[in-house]
Amino acid sequence: MAPVVHVVLFQFKDGQTPDQRRDVSAFLYLSQDPLSRRCSSLTANPRFLLQLCDKMLGLRSKCLHPASKRPYIKSSMGGLDRSIEGCQHGSTHAFVVEFESEQDRDYYVNEDPAQASFVLEVLQKLDKATILDFSPGVF
């Protein structure tokens, strides 16, 4: 069974310019304070972005396999767009979630209650989402 890589690109309705997003990203990256303290010093828009991104990454521990009741996401990472190529088409944040199998990915997308709850919350905050799945080396 080939693993499945689930790529998610978000364009949030945050009203920030790319420069403002980069400033927030640099502030968060360079600060040594805990995330909650860093968030509390930001304005509402960057704070809600960080909270949603944290929730997306938190799905790795919240999404439990229906049979084993254990986390089934193999890996998860994400971050703010840092491309210099200008081909983002409005996407500002990217996430990569890896699953052991298509069955795990299918459960995540179609049935997992933690993921479904997150989707309901995040959809109202998005201008656009782009999602691509692939198995490494399968063309």
**Residues 102-117: pLDDT tens digits?**
999 999 999 999 999 9
pLDDT at position 36 is: 46
- The identity of residue 34, as a single letter, is P
The CATH number for 4-134, chosen from 3.30.390.50, 3.30.930.10, 2.30.40.10, 3.30.70.100, is 3.30.70.100
pLDDT digits (tens, 9 = 90+) for 16-33: 566 655 555 555 555 555
- Tens digits of per-residue pLDDT, 78-97? 998 889 998 999 898 999 99
Spatial distance between the Cα atoms of 101 and 56, rounded to a whole number of angstroms: 20
In SS3 terms, 90-116 reads as CCCEEEEEEECCHHHHHHHHHCCHHHH
Domain spans, the chain:
4-134
Question: What pLDDT was estimated at residue 14?
Answer: 58
